[in-house]
Structure 1
Amino acid sequence: MRKKAQLITAMMLFSTTVAVSQMKVREELPEKYKWNLSDLYATDDTWKEEKQKVQQNMQKAASYKGKLTQSATVLLEALTFNSALIKEMSRLSSYASMKSDQDTRVTKYAGMKQELQQLFSEYGALTSFMEPELLTLDEDKLNTFFAKEKELVTYKFYLTDLIRKRAHRGSEEVEKVMAYSALMAGNAANIFSTFFNAEFPHPEIELNGERVKLNSANFALYRASEDRGVRSKVFATYFRKLNEFQRTFGAQLYGNINAALFTTKARNYESTLKRALDGGNIPTDVFHNLITNVNGNLETFHRYLNLRKRMMGLDTLHYYDLYAPLVEKVDLEYSVEEAIENILKSLQPLGTHYVDVSKRAFHERWIDMYPNEGKRSGAYSNGSAYDVHPYILMNYNGKYNDMTTLTHELGHTMHSYLTNKQQHFANADYSIFVAEVASTLNEELLNDYMLQQIKDDKTRLAILGNYLEGAKGTLFRQTQFAEFESMIHEQVAKGEALTGEDFDNMYLDLTKRYYGHDKNVCIVDDYVKSEWSYIPHFYYNFYVYQYATSFTASTALSEKVLRGTDQDRKKYLNFLASGSTKYPVELLVDAGVDMNTSEPFDLTIAKINKVMAEMETILKRMGK
């Protein structure tokens, strides 16, 4: 589990944004920039009371054992009970998780997270009889039940999908063991998160006469420095510190892969990839075709890298140059207020309701905006509190990329909000495969809006360049990550043990191939081998490829939203409100894009090349 063209002077932004980003004490941050978790539970004590109620209530699950297939009425009652309980447990989990993410050093909230993990595991064991019993239903009897109890239609997709996966479900005893195994399944990810966010000794570095701790937020900030010496020093220092813990990171990731392999074998899947994709009934060809298509279009990626080298005036492009501004002395920094204004205006093609709810997210404290000491790194949207509203975690540093990250997470939030309002809880979740469509389409709309406002050649170059940065980071980089995942999972499935050093070697070779190191397109310094060790998504098991597929889907859909008919926009908004009422590939077909074809990918490559052609034209006009 994860949304005006007025520019201000760099000095003004430096005095506001950097000052906030370096605040070390959460209590010093203005309340309006912190999420309000009391919307979930008024106090920690309230949370504890509700948890105790759930613990007592869930014991009733046993009363349905052996009765699920006796009548449509009992089946509906059991599924309603189960859905309501999971809804409350998800809300409890959201609170504990987000409280912990505010400051990962606070052991109280880490403990509350663990309590919920245990609660889910305990409930899974209590209800381990349910799916084996349901799997004894044949299609005719199930259809009879649907005819007798009209309200059962709420659970129709769940029941028919369960029967589809009959071969991957076991007996009651097997399901009980699988439920208990959940206590261990997430250990590697939990250890990684705690170690990296709370205990990892982030290095200190001297920059411009000041000592700076290279935590995740500052690494993201200073790797984008216009000073090449700063970038080089920051990258080398950060990655070399990561490498000091190569064995630890390696053991964690290897443990995670083995946990995935255990579940894969226990569930009778031929591979961890097949199991990961089968949840959404997604053909593995979608994954493999993405990697094949990207590898077949690395020349387009290298064209971008050569364009970056040209624009930066470099003889040799290094990996540490990839986050630097493409255009010198162009102010692409925005206060939070400016970012909000730009985002809301860019979203107008999606209609008044979409914009109004987005305003609520900004003004009703759905967002935790700025970094603070101990806060979880990165950004996400959490929409699992069905009866409340989604939340967004940010680490805003005032860069253009931070503004795009904010609208990205807002896209997730709107997806969750709309589907939660439209669908019953049982159908309100949505597949990871479609999760990134709303977020990346929001980014497309923001880029389009900014380009409409800005006519200055230098600034347009920077905005167009930002689109290319998105393509680099979302299509090419995430596909590289997906290929790395595929490689390491395949190796472990063959019975090979992998160490941190093995991960280093595989990652470095792959990165050099993608970035054209041997062709002198972009030099990948050896310390880049450690980059895999701080990427949390490798613990999600075949999550990242969906960033890339969503990028191609959103490229196709954004054209329909911006330049299509009202009906095209309505189809997209209906898609956002559809939850899990259909399989994700089918939902995208309804929205107007078919992921079984190469068309979305081809359109995306065409757009990338079109953007580069416009940039090259501007450079020629500028005499460069």
Structure 2
Amino acid sequence: MLRKTKLMTAVMLFSTSIAVSQMKVREELPDKYKWNLTDLYSSDEAWKQEKDRIQTEMQKAAQFKGKLTQSASSLLEALRFNTKIAKDMVRLSSYASMKSDQDTRVTKYAGMKQELSQLFSQYGALTSFMVPELLTFNDEQLKSFIQQEKGLETYRFYLSDLLRKRAHKGSEEVERTLAYSSLMSGNASSVYNTFMNAEFPYADIEIDGKVVKLNSSNFALYRASENRDLRAKVFETYFNKLNQFQRTLGTTLYGNLNTALFYAKARNYNSTLESALDGGNIPTAVYHNLVKNVNNNMETFHRYLNLRKRMMGLETLHYYDLYAPLVEQVDLSYTVEESIDNILNSLKPLGKEYVDVSKKAFNKRWIDMYPNEGKRSGAYSNGSAYDVHPYILMNYNGKYNDMSTLTHELGHTMHSYLANKKQDFANANYSIFVAEVASTLNEELLNDYMLKQIKDDKTRLAILGNYLEGAKGTLFRQTQFAEFELMIHDKVGKGEALTGEDFDRMYLELTRKYYGHDKNVCIVDDNVKSEWSYIPHFYYNFYVYQYATSYTASTALSEKVLNGTDEDRKKYLNFLAAGGSKYPVELLEDAGVNMNSSEPFDLTIAKVNKVITEMEAILTRLGK
């Protein structure tokens, strides 16, 4: 079944303004800052009526059984039916999911999400005959059918890719069983998300004479405090509370690892890594090379950490210092309107259509902007509603990082918008491997624009520092996460049982290696061992490495957009509009980036070092 997935970027926000942080009840927020989900369905009742209709309609799938290879016209009819049902179900899923994310405490929408999970499972079982039948095709027969029925050209890539994976598909009975297994396969992730977002007993902490509940949003806020003692207290309190549930959170993560192993074995893959990457036809060498390249360039990361130590005037840098402001007394606060203005100006190199659609996203309530009680943390773009438009969830808190996050998610939205406009639903959903290219490139354009406006040394330091923070968080930190994932999946693949204590030990050792703990570059305190349980991406199975690979690709492409020719910019926009019509490595090659070479990574490391050099020169000029 063709299914369009929701793109999510879990971005934890660093700081807030008092005015915004007081907006805690959703009903108090102005409508213009809340997304308009009536563009999807006019009401919950309309959603239910559509779900009931689809539940009846999808029963017709049985009429195609045994007929897929009889004629080109029969095949086309079946594929169009399948695509239409999948598209409609994904729209239902988008509505239920986003309604739930508005306030995760509302059980009604959690129930609607569960209903959709069951609906997908039911449809998967009903269409379990399709893949086994399609796998009886040979290449020549498929070619002949496409020549007879031009409408099948839309499905050429899907069908060719399916035949490529022939060795990993099972009989009708096996496919039906795997379809039904989806009813339980997401349990570990669902338990984790519900527990952490709705029921986790976050600790209270006293800050400036007031008692504050240290939930994930407030942790992200106060870990960025200029008060070092407070930062240390926040980290210790938050991570120690996580560690009290080490056994439970260890069990849910271990359950997720076993789910991935089950599917890898059921699909005849050699490993969970191979299973996860094969969807986009990505060689496992790409993953291993990323980890190797980052480890071989750790001195660049340590150079950044030593720069942070110098800028903060510290004799010893601790892990809890990594989110504190780099430059004192620089006001990098922005209202939503100021952020929108800066973002739109920064996007002008991408052309009028790109900017005009971005304006529409801001003006037509595609975005849920501010935090409220119970709202899902972080930020994401959901481009799943093919016939409508993408949506963005934000938790905007008024700082430069929030402006950067907003343009990041807008990059995802524009990628989805252009792909949905250009491609049929069957080919619109792009691979996660390229998902972060558009978002990270948007950030690069914003940084470039802001640096051209700002000449003050201290403010330039802050903007350049923001770039380095992005490199730290996207290239180095995400690769560290990727290496941790590889370690824990490999152990489970070898039959080892893992507990919360095991995850603690492995995570702490790896983090200390990355941050140069033993070299006194950055001290990683014992309580950091619990951080793995704070990262929801470990439930996405080999997702995070793609942040880093996309980051290197976007560095190469941003150079072409900013300093290249009109043809370079056209190639980039064509890349966005291509959606998932080719394998991701091929799409990037069309855009002008060769991911099979080390060039994108080398360019990124060179840029990071160049920024560090400029910041060091400014510090010397300022006498620091």
TM-score range, shorter chain: over 0.9
Q: Match for residue 74 of structure 2?
A: 74
Q: Match for residue 297 of structure 2?
A: 297
Q: How does 1:467-506 map to 2 (within 5 A)?
A: 467-506=467-506
Matched, 1:201 2:227: no
How many angstroms does 1:20 deviate by? Answer: 2.0
The one-letter amino acid of 1:489's match is H
The CA distance in 2 between the partners of 1:91 and 1:271, in whole Å, is 33
The CA distance in 2 between the partners of 1:214 and 1:359, in whole Å, is 36
Show CA shifts across 1:222-267 (max 9, x none): 1111111221111111111111111111000000000000000000
Matched, 1:2 2:24: no
The CA distance in 1 between the partners of 2:233 and 2:351, in whole Å, is 46
Unaligned segments of structure 2, at least 5 residues: 1-6, 10-14
The CA distance in 1 between the partners of 2:219 and 2:407, in whole Å, is 21
Q: Match for residue 4 of structure 2?
A: none
Show CA shifts across 1:58-113 (max 9, x none): 00000100000000000000000000000000000000000000011100000000
Give the SS at the match of 1:607: helix
Q: Does the 8 A contact of 1:221 with 1:397 survive in 2?
A: no
Q: Match for residue 413 of structure 1?
A: 413
Show CA shifts across 1:200-220 (max 9, x none): 111111111111111221111
The CA distance in 2 between the partners of 1:381 and 1:252, in whole Å, is 26
Q: Match for residue 36 of structure 2?
A: 36
Q: Match for residue 9 of structure 1?
A: none
Q: Match for residue 87 of structure 2?
A: 87
How many angstroms does 1:18 deviate by? Answer: 2.2
Q: How does 1:342-491 map to 2 (within 5 A)?
A: 342-491=342-491
Count of residue correspondences: 613
Q: Match for residue 525 of structure 1?
A: 525
Matched, 1:260 2:260: yes
Matched, 1:103 2:109: no
The CA distance in 1 between the partners of 2:221 and 2:462, in whole Å, is 17
The one-letter amino acid of 1:375's match is K
Show CA shifts across 1:518-574 (max 9, x none): 000000010001101011100000000000000000000000000000000000000
The one-letter amino acid of 1:26's match is R
The one-letter amino acid of 1:305's match is L
Q: Match for residue 279 of structure 1?
A: 279
Give the SS at the match of 1:161: helix
Give the SS at the match of 1:167: helix
The CA distance in 1 between the partners of 2:8 and 2:246, in whole Å, is 27
Q: Match for residue 6 of structure 1?
A: none
Give the SS at the match of 2:8: coil
Q: Match for residue 334 of structure 1?
A: 334
Q: Match for residue 248 of structure 2?
A: 248
Q: Match for residue 234 of structure 2?
A: 234
The CA distance in 2 between the partners of 1:28 and 1:608, in whole Å, is 42
TM-score normalised to the size of structure 2?
0.97
Q: Match for residue 586 of structure 1?
A: 586
The CA distance in 1 between the partners of 2:558 and 2:537, in whole Å, is 26
How many angstroms does 1:31 deviate by? Answer: 0.8
Give the SS at the match of 1:381: strand
How many angstroms does 1:501 deviate by? Answer: 0.7
Runs of 4+ in 1 over 3 A off after TM superposition: none
Q: Match for residue 7 of structure 1?
A: none
Show CA shifts across 1:438-457 (max 9, x none): 00000100111111010000
Q: Please, what is the CA RMSD of the aligned residues?
A: 0.9
The one-letter amino acid of 2:347's match is L
The one-letter amino acid of 2:492's match is V
Q: Match for residue 539 of structure 1?
A: 539
The CA distance in 1 between the partners of 2:488 and 2:36, in whole Å, is 40
Give the SS at the match of 2:224: coil
The CA distance in 2 between the partners of 1:21 and 1:124, in whole Å, is 43
TM-score normalised to the size of structure 1?
0.97
Unaligned segments of structure 1, at least 5 residues: 4-12
Q: Does the 8 A contact of 1:203 with 1:215 survive in 2?
A: yes
Give the SS at the match of 1:392: strand
Q: Does the 8 A contact of 1:2 with 1:412 survive in 2?
A: no
Q: Match for residue 3 of structure 2?
A: none
Q: Does the 8 A contact of 1:22 with 1:372 survive in 2?
A: no
Give the SS at the match of 1:88: helix
The CA distance in 1 between the partners of 2:613 and 2:545, in whole Å, is 27
The CA distance in 2 between the partners of 1:68 and 1:36, in whole Å, is 40
The CA distance in 1 between the partners of 2:50 and 2:414, in whole Å, is 27
Q: How does 1:150-189 map to 2 (within 5 A)?
A: 150-189=150-189
